Structure 1
Amino acid sequence: MTPLDLHSERFARTGNIAGEGFRRLLGRPALGLLQTVVREALQNSIDAAPEGNAVEILLRFRTLDGGTLQTLRERVFNVLPPDEADPASEADGGTNLRRLLAGDRVSVLEIADFNTSGLAGPTRADVAAGDDPLDFVNFLRNVGAARDTHQGGGTYGYGKTSLYALSQVSSILADTWTTCDGKPVRRVMGCHLGDAFEADLDGKRRRFTGRHWWGRDDGEGGVDPVEGDDAIELAEALGLPERAGGRTGTTIAIIAPHLDPEEDLLRAELVETVLLNFWPRMCAFTPAARRVVVRLEVEGRRIEIPPPEAYPPLDLYARALRNVHGSGVGEVRTVRSARPAADLGRLSIVRGLRAPRHVLALKNGNPILGQAHSIALMRPVELVVRYLPGEAFPDKRFEWAGVFICSDDAEIEKAFASAEPPAHDDWSPDMLPKGRTKTFVNVALRELKEVAATYVRPRAALGDAEERGPSVARTATRLGKLLSGISGRGPGRNVSAGGAGNRKAISISAARFVGLEHVGGRRIAHFEADLTNDGSRPGLVLRASPHLVLDGGSTSSADLPDEMAVALLDLSLAGRTAGAEGLRIEDAQGGVSCRVTVPDEAAVGIAFGFGEGDGA
């Protein structure tokens, strides 16, 4: 096979975008460069999957040497752009293609997808496509093509600049098995993104954009990709992922990526990047047609990616996602806009004990993998846009995780998609024009930020008059410390039974912790409170609900393992005692007491409430 031909793009008389301007299109992503690349590449892969196809993706890091490196050097990059081939351009000490290829080893990061449509359609941007998609030219030729996938991962085209940014020499190879005019075709092309420069051409000084392609001379001043048997032969010689049996899809090989050379840290970063961004499509309950299967290899070694349910705190996020889907048991809240009236999306938050972290989650110290206290924001495609942080529990043994998915209503989903910057890593309503779409995103973010900030310490009143009750005396800043020898009113308000008249005619004070005792091998906490009762509603029932205390918040028993459950032993008033059924207050008032079981190394509290019922 003959070496590839180089085409360096000239500035047209009507103008072009320079290479350095192309690189700046990505902006400044909030994520690291590797995360941005993997997000962009996998989002494109998911968008390229025909409906009903599970996507398979291979992330592979390897080193080329010997014959493989010789193929890269002599058959792909045999001819170099002027600014990359001139030794004088190396004065700044940076890496360029000439210096890189002169060495005896070159690393590559390959991102390959299977069961997708590949980079289909024509290979020239000026050719009418008819019914064919424009995937090839939009990815390798055009800049910033419009989003054309229903509820897809993002606007196709801008984020691809991150692929070049990850390469130390701003160079990639693309290998795709796809279709054009309804026929299967294999294509390979090399690309380089440099700076604008001047050079002599045909006896004249010309300006060039800094964008370059390697392929086959098309006879009209440009190059097309290598196709057919030549493409298959070149891909095999370079050791690119096999596509036996015509497995359609695309491989992007990033030349000399900026990655941590320490293998353990690299493995951890790749696993972390995949899971933090794509876990919603990798859960055990993800429908087969929407599932993303990711394989990871580093220098020939297969790295297992644990399921999200086995990679805390993603287990909590997965539970919240099930709730949003309607297949879980937890509470789901609809986030609404009043003007214009619209349901903007669904939110669920789950709390629980902080589970031990997977060994790979400890490598890079990512705060998202620490004590969870964020809401994962998504569109219906269910790829994580970002994690919206809130307040963490003061006790680091507990954590919470939420999931918000915006509505799949076409107008609302498009509003959130339009609010995403090129890296698709945020919702930025300031990017939108004034109107309904901007209002939708602004209202949703305002509501979500409020929930995240107040979930641990709610600012609102504690429910309606019949149900609300005070928290107990502050138990400590850490779970595992019970107040002992300390009395006094807790931080909650008195609870009123309500009514048409004086709302404080029947009320109960905040609880006071009295003491702790051990009975029959169990720890038991005593609490007291003061009941005010004018006798106007003798049939009202006083009830006490115990809970595990998290310094101002409390847990539901559904969130806790059996060994952490708490139970009410008894509730006493005016010489009468009852259990969970509660006590009719009749005309009694004064001291109320109750006893609660306490798990080891835990703190408990009591919420009093009034209601109707039989009672004791």
Structure 2
Amino acid sequence: MSPLELVIREALQNSWDASLGCEQAPIFRIRIRVLDSDHLEAMRAFFSELPPQDAGEPIAGRIRRFLDSPEPLVMEISDERTKGLGGPISAAEALQEGEVADFVNFVRNIGSPRDMVLGGGTYGFGKSALFRISGCSTVVIHSLTGTAQAPENRLIAKALGMAFDHDGKRYTGRHWWGVHCNGDQGRESVDPVRGEEGSRIAQSLGMYGRHTPEQRGTTLMILDPELQDLRDDNGRIELTGLGQKQRLMARIQEILLWHCWPKFTSRENGSVPMTCRLSILGEEAELPDPSTIQPLWLLTQALQHARSQTDEVFCERPRQRIGFFGQCQASLQLHADDRYRIHLGDDALIPEKLCHMALLRPAELVVRYQVGSLNEADQTQWGAVYICDRGPDNVVEQAYARSEPPAHDDWEPKADQSLSSHQRTYVNVGLKRIKDRVKLLSGTDLVRAMRIREREQESLAALAGELGRSLIGTGPGGSAGHPPSPRSGPSRRRPLKLSSPAPLGTELRDGIPVATFRIRLTGDSEGTAIISFTPWVQSDAREREPVAPNGRAPEIVGITVDGDGLETEDGSLRCEPSAKGVEILVSLSVPDYVAVGLTAELIEGDQR
């Protein structure tokens, strides 16, 4: 991912985590602007104290260049209707019962483990991305936290530089701007500016005002953000060009849609988990509904199916439901929405044709995409979703969460030694089921299997003919000669025989996996043949089970006799034998992603 993708993705994830437990859906904002003269003057006053120039610390020089810039650019990422950065302001202060350490974790500590049930991630990696994208490695942090009865403003700035030596002392390279504080035992620290003074300074910098409990949340102001889309063909920053402004707006909208679309997809009751508002160099916009964008709407439809929890995924050993699938298909002929491709060209993230499965945890943040291929056989594109289950005591969700690397962009069960063997199995089985479903949606297994089978049958028929001619000759009575004269006397009818069902492959019919089997009925009995069919599921122990792990049984969904579709009654078929033989195709629904089989039994016609 690009630095901008990483920052937006991680910031939105942190905002979502901060909204858990709040009553209203959070608002997520991104604003990019040039500081006006009053805001720049307030910024210079706030950063009046910098590391000495002779210290060799590059942060000081970068901030000075930013403050002296004719067009100082900032990027603000903020949320509202969240908890803000609460808890103690000192890392040495013990937590009270029920208290959180959000401020300390974000402002003081480099990183901390995930401690929120069903949260998106951890502190540390996403935070470092904020400083990485800043030309000054500096971020101003303003948060309104506390309770509705006692809200509190907190304002502090932080820079992440390199360690350096000065006047015989070693410095960490981390810098804070706020209020100098002499703590216990002679400890000195920089604490946030709190209360009305913190709110006043934040507003003097042009930051979003926070006064009421509904405005609780956090604003992160990134100084001198590195935004490639604002550069012209010569690499210079161009802030007045319409093309650069439109390109940057398109870039940010598409990043939010491609990486975070579940957060802007309405639920069954019509509510939307999150709303987003953008302001790019004075141009205001809201994020489009992802369900209105082709082909992204395939993923939103797949998410609705996955949320219904009807297509369940199970692990057999140990027996545990581990997730849910959802999927949606559309014609390859549908034209893609080009509103972003017009501005971004080949750099656009949303593909013109979709063949992607989004991997999610219950927080519904995209971990990554499992990419398949377009289904050329059915001429369809598709979008799918896999959401891991929570499991008892969140044991399944925790397994997937701990399998994520710091960027939260994959599931790697071998990477975390704290996973139990069962938890590691849950993730591995889920990854296998995902790959199998992607192959099914892509149509690769069905097309390949059918073609290979047809070639094998043609080759075997030719080989049998050649073997017959070489072994028994081509004269009278041979394989290619004249048939022997029939014996005199009454003709004898051949008894009816039924071949074992031969699998032909699997395909999707109206979004349902269907397996087809071929059966051959031979013989020329005068009686009507009655055939009984019994579908079954192949278990891990190589035993036949009547139902799949999700509790549903495979069912007969189609049957043809010599190409004519028929209806079966109670799993049995009545058909007339033919001297040439009868070809019967039986199609079974696949209730879970399991191996299904079919038993065919001739129960009436000739004496058994």
TM-score under structure 1 normalisation?
0.69
* Corresponding position of 2:219: 251
Does residue 1:71 correspond to 2:42, yes or no?
A: yes
Q: 1:65/1:459 Cα in 2 relative to 1: closer, same or farther (>3 Å)?
A: same
Offset of 1:282 from its aligned partner?
Answer: 1.4
Q: Of the candidates 422, 425, 428, which is equivalent to residue 442 of structure 1? A: 428
Does residue 1:143 correspond to 2:110, yes or no?
A: yes
Q: Which amino acid aligns with 2:529?
A: P
User: Which whole-Å deviations, capped at 9, do the CAs of 1:151-200 have from their partners, x for residues lacking one?
Assistant: 10112333211111111111101111111797211111111000000112
Does residue 1:283 correspond to 2:249, yes or no?
A: no
The aligned runs of 1:461-480 (5 Å cut-off) are none
Give distance in 1, aligned partners of 2:94 and 2:561. 84
3-state DSSP of counterpart to 2:165: strand
3-state DSSP of counterpart to 1:279: helix
* Corresponding position of 1:122: 88
Give distance in 2, aligned partners of 1:322 and 1:283. 9
Residues 54 and 288 of structure 1 are in contact (CA less than 8 Å); yes or no, is this contact kept in structure 2?
A: no
Residues 336 and 353 of structure 2 are in contact (CA less than 8 Å); yes or no, is this contact kept in structure 1?
A: no
Deviates more, 1:137-146 or 1:354-363: 354-363
User: Which whole-Å deviations, capped at 9, do the CAs of 1:506-559 have from their partners, x for residues lacking one?
Assistant: 99999xxxxxxxxxxxxxxxxxx99764357634699xxxxxxxxxxxxxxxxx
Does residue 1:210 correspond to 2:180, yes or no?
A: no
Task: Point out where structure 2 has 5 or more consecutive residues left out of the alignment.
Answer: 231-243, 462-495, 506-517, 534-557, 584-599, 603-608
Deviates more, 1:371-380 or 1:285-294: 285-294
The aligned runs of 1:110-509 (5 Å cut-off) are 110-131=76-97, 132-179=99-146, 183-200=150-167, 205-220=168-183, 221-246=188-213, 247-259=215-227, 260-261=229-230, 262-285=244-267, 291-326=273-308, 332-354=310-332, 355-362=334-341, 363=344, 365=346, 366=348, 368-394=350-376, 398-409=380-391, 410-433=394-417, 435-457=421-443, 459=445, 503-504=498-499
Comparing both chains, which one has the higher relative contact order based on Cα–Cα distances under 8 Å and sequence gaps of 6 or more?
1
3-state DSSP of counterpart to 2:291: helix
Q: 1:195/1:572 Cα in 2 relative to 1: closer, same or farther (>3 Å)?
A: closer
Give distance in 2, aligned partners of 1:180 and 1:235. 20
Residues 158 and 176 of structure 2 are in contact (CA less than 8 Å); yes or no, is this contact kept in structure 1?
A: yes
Residues 507 and 532 of structure 1 are in contact (CA less than 8 Å); yes or no, is this contact kept in structure 2?
A: no
Residues 412 and 440 of structure 1 are in contact (CA less than 8 Å); yes or no, is this contact kept in structure 2?
A: yes
Give distance in 2, aligned partners of 1:64 and 1:253. 11
Deviates more, 1:256-265 or 1:106-115: 256-265
Give distance in 1, aligned partners of 2:395 and 2:217. 31
Deviates more, 1:388-397 or 1:144-153: 388-397
Give distance in 2, aligned partners of 1:579 and 1:335. 32
User: Which whole-Å deviations, capped at 9, do the CAs of 1:121-160 have from their partners, x for residues lacking one?
Assistant: 2211112231332111111001212222111011233321
Question: What RMSD over aligned residues (CA atoms) do the two structures have, in Å?
Answer: 4.1
Give distance in 2, aligned partners of 1:506 and 1:37. 55
Q: 1:364/1:235 Cα in 2 relative to 1: closer, same or farther (>3 Å)?
A: farther
The aligned runs of 1:76-95 (5 Å cut-off) are 76-82=46-52, 85=53
Does residue 1:103 correspond to 2:98, yes or no?
A: no
Q: Which amino acid aligns with 1:77?
A: F
* Corresponding position of 1:598: none
Offset of 1:451 from its aligned partner?
Answer: 2.4
3-state DSSP of counterpart to 1:369: coil
Give distance in 2, aligned partners of 1:254 and 1:408. 36
Residues 139 and 158 of structure 2 are in contact (CA less than 8 Å); yes or no, is this contact kept in structure 1?
A: yes
Q: Of the candidates 30, 42, 46, which is equivalent to residue 16 of structure 2? A: 46
Q: Which amino acid aligns with 1:231?
A: G
The aligned runs of 1:563-582 (5 Å cut-off) are none
Residues 376 and 443 of structure 2 are in contact (CA less than 8 Å); yes or no, is this contact kept in structure 1?
A: no
Q: 1:530/1:454 Cα in 2 relative to 1: closer, same or farther (>3 Å)?
A: closer
Offset of 1:36 from its aligned partner?
Answer: 1.5
Give distance in 1, aligned partners of 2:182 and 2:429. 56
3-state DSSP of counterpart to 1:39: helix
Identity %: 32
Offset of 1:504 from its aligned partner?
Answer: 2.8
Larger gyration radius, structure 1 or structure 2: 2
Task: Point out where structure 1 has 5 or more consecutive residues left out of the alignment.
Answer: 1-30, 463-469, 475-486, 494-500, 511-528, 543-567, 594-609
Give distance in 1, aligned partners of 2:373 and 2:529. 42
Q: Of the candidates 49, 59, 62, which is equivalent to residue 33 of structure 2? A: 62
TM-score under structure 2 normalisation?
0.70
* Corresponding position of 2:478: none
